[in-house]
Structure 1
Amino acid sequence: MPVLSDPAVRFRSSFLAAVKEFRADHEYEVSWFVTDVDDEALHDEAGFEKYIARVLAERTDAGVPPGFVRMTTLWWTEGEEMLGRLAIRHSLTPRLDRVGGHIGYDVRPSARRQGHAGAMLKAALPLAAELGIAEALLTCDITNAASRRVIESNGGRFVSEIDGKLRFRVPTS
């Protein structure tokens, strides 16, 4: 049964395969988390270890780049297989409040349409509550009916549409 896991070196080969899948998928735009992977992380184990350390450090003020907010990144895993990625932003900038939200998630193409996105979001909501987020803001593209269903099935209440994004409030407890 899949679980949310901290990013770790043991998932390296599966993570790299997932990145290739995301880049080859022409059905959706390549996620920012894929473009954010350090190039050296894709080519050697030491670079991957540095990438993991950077991602884990983003949970602290010291690890956050200028203009960003603290973020807890988790991987949806089963055994050693990385099936997806989820990020909980601890707070929102004005831009994130418009089109990003507190929680973003991606399921690797080969694992889509198997219920992972809904289960991943459900597992993340109590973690968001622990971070002090009583009601999470989630957004999705107007055209992404699957993501809308995932959000609504987890209690999402439609708030508004801005810049081609649908905005929802989701209780975290």
Structure 2
Amino acid sequence: MIRLIKPDASFESEFLDMISEWKDSGEEFIPWSLNLDTTDFNAMIDKLNGYSNGIGLKDGFVECSTYWLINENNKILGAIDIRHRLNEKLLYRGGHIGYGIRPSERKKGYATQMLYLALNICKTIGISKVLITCDKNNIGSSKVIINNGGILDSEGTENGEVFQRYWINLI
């Protein structure tokens, strides 16, 4: 039994454990919300909650809701960011959703389930067509998107890297 929850200060230990695991892996933190300063955990939670209401956004950012995927033991398995709308940059690359599963929990189907749950949230926000992008060489992510109804729209290049753009219709 897994579910998405809004960031919550009572999960500080679990969150920091996930961040530590990610750091040890040497991999990039995805989604971007995992890069926030955790020194003052309550302030980080407040910042994330503010972003979902358009408060405290940096230039070029849009309203964004962050959720953590937890299992029945309240272990944080991953995180997902849902952008409520697209600006020109996100329409090209970035899309509505960014997500990641902690390294030790990958290849267990969690990303597919997390995206499925997030798509239901997108409907409640009023998003009827969701754009998700991923690096072309990230086969796992493209499978997650396709398994949730993603249709490849196009490919692009940014900083010498090829990425793919998928659309998911929620109607």
Q: Normalized against structure 1, the TM-score is what?
A: 0.90
Aligned to 2:15: 15
Aligned to 1:170: 168
Aligned to 1:120: 114
Aligned to 1:86: 80
- In the TM superposition, what is the alpha-carbon distance from 1:135 to its structure 2 partner? 0.8
Counterpart of 1:167, as a letter, is: R
- In the TM superposition, what is the alpha-carbon distance from 1:88 to its structure 2 partner? 0.5
Matches within 5 A, 1:1-173: 1-26=1-26, 28-31=27-30, 32-35=32-35, 37-38=36-37, 41-42=38-39, 47-78=40-71, 79-163=73-157, 164-173=162-171
- In the TM superposition, what is the alpha-carbon distance from 1:65 to its structure 2 partner? 2.5
Range with bigger deviation, 120-129 or 55-64: 55-64
Contact kept, 8 Å, 2:4 with 2:117, in 1: the verdict is: yes
- In the TM superposition, what is the alpha-carbon distance from 1:172 to its structure 2 partner? 2.5
Structure 1: where are the runs of 5+ without partners? none
Counterpart of 2:9, as a letter, is: V
Count of equivalent residues: 165
Tell me which stretches of 4 or more aligned residues in structure 1 moved more than 4 Å: none
Contact kept, 8 Å, 2:98 with 2:132, in 1: the verdict is: yes
Contact kept, 8 Å, 2:69 with 2:77, in 1: the verdict is: yes
Counterpart of 1:166, as a letter, is: Q
Query: Sequence identity, in percent?
Result: 35
2: distance between equivalents of 1:111 and 1:55? Answer: 24
Counterpart of 2:122, as a letter, is: A
Contact kept, 8 Å, 2:54 with 2:64, in 1: the verdict is: no
Contact kept, 8 Å, 2:33 with 2:81, in 1: the verdict is: no
- In the TM superposition, what is the alpha-carbon distance from 1:73 to its structure 2 partner? 0.4
- In the TM superposition, what is the alpha-carbon distance from 1:67 to its structure 2 partner? 1.9
Q: Normalized against structure 2, the TM-score is what?
A: 0.91
2: distance between equivalents of 1:106 and 1:172? Answer: 21
RMSD: 1.3
2: distance between equivalents of 1:22 and 1:93? Answer: 29
